[in-house]
Amino acid sequence: MDVEVRIRGLTLDPATSMPIIVLKDVASETVMPIWVGIFEANAIAIEIEKVAVPRPMTHDLARNLMRHLNARLERIVISELNDDTFFATLWLWQGDEPLVIDARPSDAIALALRADCPIYVTEEVMQAAKLNTTGPAEGQAAEQLRGWLEGLNDEDLGRYKM
């Protein structure tokens, strides 16, 4: 069973200054962090903030290609966590044909925002990420980071809160 999530916000890891996408289960208070690169975080932030760009960015191009090829992004699923790396799939329909395409979660999320489609995490991944905070922190530091992430408020998330 997949868990629907929404972007709670973007923030920076206080220890490494790496961007973190904070996903929140729509049915509970559970949060799940995904560390991403600065460029991927920027692509997501641009769409969250609805910043007008002079030329299409990569994710805008992908959305435009889907439209012109009569494909529709139905949903994205963060489907696997392997060695602290998340994996995602794009679930598309092109006409009557379903397509499932491998993607990085950051790219999938940026595309989902542009296509206005839901974001899901498999229950297995949600449980694994909830129990073992993935990213730079380990052990006691991971638990402290988990507490910090769960305690984030709108002010902490700055202008990128959702």
Full residue range of the structural domain in which residue 119 is found: 2-160
Separation between Cα atoms, residue 78 and residue 96, nearest integer Å: 24
Separation between Cα atoms, residue 126 and residue 48, nearest integer Å: 23
Q: What is the CATH number of the domain that holds 63?
A: 3.10.690.10
Separation between Cα atoms, residue 45 and residue 86, nearest integer Å: 20
The torsion region of residue 116 among left (phi > 0), alpha (psi -120 to 50) and beta comes to: left
Main-chain phi, psi angles of 116, to 5 degrees = 55, 50
Separation between Cα atoms, residue 160 and residue 8, nearest integer Å: 9
The total domain count for the chain is: 1
Q: Please, which residues have CB within 8 angstroms of residue 152's CB and are 6 or more apart in sequence?
A: 8, 9, 11, 22, 31
Q: How many CA atoms lie within 13 A of 108 on its CB side?
A: 24
What tokens appear for 144 in the block? 């402290």
Model pLDDT for residues 42-87, shown as the tens digit of each residue: 999 999 999 999 999 999 999 999 999 999 999 999 999 999 899 9
162, 7 contact by CB (below 8 A): yes
pLDDT in tens, the chain (162 residues): 899 999 998 998 888 889 999 999 999 988 999 999 999 999 999 999 999 999 999 999 999 999 999 999 999 999 999 998 999 999 999 999 999 999 999 999 999 999 999 999 999 999 988 754 445 545 455 566 656 666 666 665 554 444
- Token look-up 């709108």 returns 154
pLDDT at res. 162: 41
* H-only helix segments in the chain: 38-48, 58-68, 105-115, 123-131, 140-150, 154-157
Strand, helix or coil for residue 60:
helix
